[in-house]
Amino acid sequence: MNDILIRGGTLLTIRGEQRADLRITGERIAEIGTGLAAEGATPVDAAGKLVMPGGVDPHTHFDLPMFETVSSDDHYTGLKAAAFGGTTTVLDFVPLSRPTLAESIEAWLAKAERNAAIDYGFHMNITRLDREVRKEIPQLADRGITTLKVFSAYNGRLRLQDGEIFQVMRIAREHGLLTMLHAENGDVIEILTAEALAAGHTEPEWHALTRPAWGAVEAVLRGIALAEQAGAPLYVVHLNTAGELDQIRYGRARGARVMAETCPQYLFFNLQHLKRPDGAKWICSPPVRNEQDNAALWAGLTNGSLQTVGTDHCPFFYDGRRSIEYEGAPVAIPGKELGARDFTKIPNGLPGVGDRLPILWTFGVGQGHITPAQFVALTSTNPAKIFGMYPQKGELLPGSDADLVIWDPARRLTYGLAHSQHRTDYNLYEGCELKGFPEKVFLRGSLIVDGEQWVGKRGGGRFLKRVPGAEVL
């Protein structure tokens, strides 16, 4: 296989911009410099374009059973959509759906490895804590799974009690693992939901009204306190309120090793969207909040209070009774219509894995909320560091995987379902005018997206064995 020489472009990393050529040999970046010799290499012209590391999405869900259906993107369709949006690595969550962690992981690997279109790794959900689970957690690092997710919500299904979360954190600390927290107050949610239904409140906005922001705020502080008492680092997923961000700052100012992500939906959408006739499209957990929260989270990205932007990608059809065409075949999967008369039956989740980079570039970089270097940090380099993949992923350095995006900063398009590539029937950003979009995407040196053309393959992605003891940013 010939080398590939990407020449004439501007390399964009967390260190800023650099005019340079980049040579790929096999699966890795071999050389970076000006005026690199083209002999024996296939040239790729990147003049006027940016060359950046492929995106790393730290928070995704594919082929996930929920209620009476399953999320509509599997490890092929969802990872392919990610690639079209410039993301080359995703981290998915393994449900504790079998008697043991090992059996749960094997079942999830069986789904993923035959389908994955880009590289992927796993987080492990810890949704019960018995003797067997405690015994197995230390063995996860040997399998390359170095992150554990716990929940303070979803009573009777996913939630652990505080003492159990504390125990998980102590085991994690001993073995160089990172605990991730879904922070809401499950007891309050349970009471308010029962009261809302008894009063006949079934509309989508009640999904948010029964999950008050204060419950998330106190759950974040409680999680930080538990982690500090356990001597363990903590990563708070899908931060969605100004108050939660206050708690992150409070903890970090006092030396707590706590980090947090937000997601695009919490930057752009709010309760008013849930009140629309098609409000079910915006149902996710935790819910979208208000405009003040939107603004506070943008500020958190600007000033560095937030470390990553993930998507929590977990799409469902808006109306699964009607089929769409996907790769030439009709597809219909039950979706949000299941909760047409009861908000508690609306599958919780949104499409987003392919939207993240284009949307954040236009509205984050383009509107001055974040710099180009911050864009790369939040969407690629920081998650690679936090989750034990750096510098293999999230970087442009000799020896790093040649996961690259050639980005056209001048391209304008009206975005929406036609471009997003998710296997679902709607897009949250329909009609948004974008400036800046991926032109070519490489996965370990192989071109997988060429303009509007998919040239990757099902099963072309590789499982990533991540290392414990990763950096706390």
CA torsion through residues 391, 381, 283, 241, sign: positive
Q: Please give the Cα distance from 420 to 323 (Å, whole number).
A: 17
Helix axes 242-253, 291-302, angle to 10 degrees: 30
Q: Which run of H or E residues covers position 106? A: helix 101-112
Each residue's pLDDT expressed in tens, for the chain with a length of 473 residues: 689 999 999 999 999 999 999 999 999 999 999 999 888 899 999 999 999 999 999 999 999 999 999 999 999 999 999 999 999 999 999 999 999 999 999 999 999 999 999 999 999 999 999 999 999 999 999 999 999 999 999 999 999 999 999 999 999 999 999 999 999 999 999 999 999 999 999 999 999 999 999 999 999 999 999 999 999 999 999 999 999 999 999 999 999 999 999 999 999 999 999 999 999 999 999 999 999 999 999 999 999 999 999 999 999 999 999 999 999 999 999 999 999 999 999 999 999 999 999 999 999 999 999 999 999 999 999 999 999 999 999 999 999 999 999 999 999 999 999 899 999 999 999 999 999 999 999 999 999 999 999 999 999 999 999 999 999 99
Burial class (CB in 10 A: 0-12, 13-18, 19+), 182: buried
Burial class (CB in 10 A: 0-12, 13-18, 19+), 256: middle
> Would you say 453 and 423 are in contact if contact means Cβ atoms under 8 Å apart?
no
What is the model's pLDDT at position 270? Answer: 98
> Identity (one letter) of the amino acid at 269?
F
Q: Please give the Cα distance from 29 to 399 (Å, whole number).
A: 5
What is the model's pLDDT at position 277? Answer: 96
Q: Please give the Cα distance from 393 to 400 (Å, whole number).
A: 6
Q: Please give the Cα distance from 219 to 77 (Å, whole number).
A: 34
The yes or no reply on domain 53-386 and CATH 3.20.20.140 is yes
The two most distant CA atoms of the chain are separated, in Å, by 74
Beta strands in 306-461 (DSSP E): 308-309, 324-326, 329-331, 404-414, 433-443, 446-450, 453-454
Q: What is the pTM of this model?
A: 0.97
Q: Please give the Cα distance from 207 to 201 (Å, whole number).
A: 10
Residues 117-158 pLDDT 10s: 999 999 999 999 999 999 999 999 999 999 999 999 999 999
